């Protein structure tokens, strides 16, 4: 476990944001870090570590986002394939028009038996 820090996460975030904002006004990122570190009265190396940590966190977040988007695309393709397969199964399971049971037919699909049952009543 690392040693305890005397800087709050809000203070760190503010310092890192200040480095990002002041970067265009300096010749290098290190120059920006040194200037901001002096203004915040902290070590330049400490601030550089915070800046690198924030960059790696952002990189991980972007990688996670790309991974999640790829998973959503894969699931959408799978959903489309499954819907297509379900439509095919429904189409093949539908009885032919001539063999459909008539209301009150009690499920009999053979016309000769159905006709015989109606005549005997």
Query: Is residue 108 a part of any domain in this protein?
Result: no
pLDDT value for 31? 95
What confidence category does residue 120 fall into, taking pLDDT thresholds of 50, 70 and 90? Answer: very low
pLDDT value for 121? 47
User: How many CB atoms are closer than 10 A to CB 36?
Assistant: 24
pLDDT value for 11? 95
The 10s digit of each residue's pLDDT in 91-114 is: 998 766 555 555 555 555 555 555
First to last CA, the chain: 90
Query: Is residue 4 a part of any domain in this protein?
Result: no
Query: Is residue 39 a part of any domain in this protein?
Result: yes
pTM of the model: 0.50
The 10s digit of each residue's pLDDT in 57-94 is: 888 888 899 999 999 999 999 999 999 999 999 999 87
Query: Is residue 115 a part of any domain in this protein?
Result: no
Q: What are phi and psi of 4, to 5 degrees?
A: -65, 150
Query: Is residue 26 a part of any domain in this protein?
Result: yes
Of residues 33, 70, 27, the one with CA closest to residue 51: 33
pLDDT at residue 55 tops 90: no
Query: Is residue 105 a part of any domain in this protein?
Result: no
Query: Is residue 65 a part of any domain in this protein?
Result: yes
Question: CA-to-CA distance for 6 and 23, rounded, in angstroms?
Answer: 26
Question: CA-to-CA distance for 121 and 114, rounded, in angstroms?
Answer: 11
Domain extent, residue 20, equals 9-93
Number of domains in the chain: 1
Query: Is residue 102 a part of any domain in this protein?
Result: no
The 10s digit of each residue's pLDDT in 17-50 is: 999 999 999 999 999 999 999 999 999 999 999 9
Domain containing residue 83: CATH number: 1.10.10.10
């Amino acid at each position: 476990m690392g040693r305890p820090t005397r800087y709050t996460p809000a203070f760190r975030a503010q310092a890192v944001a200040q480095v990002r904002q002041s970067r265009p006004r300096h010749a290098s990122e290190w120059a920006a870090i040194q200037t901001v570190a002096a203004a915040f009265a902290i070590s330049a190396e400490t601030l550089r570590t915070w800046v690198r940590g924030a960059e790696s966190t952002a990189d991980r977040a972007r990688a996670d986002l790309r991974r999640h988007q790829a998973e959503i695309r894969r699931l959408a393709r799978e959903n489309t394939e499954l819907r297509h397969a379900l439509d095919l199964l429904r189409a093949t399971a539908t009885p032919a028009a001539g063999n459909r049971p008539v209301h009150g037919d009690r499920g009999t699909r053979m016309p000769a038996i159905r006709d015989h049952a109606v005549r005997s009543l």
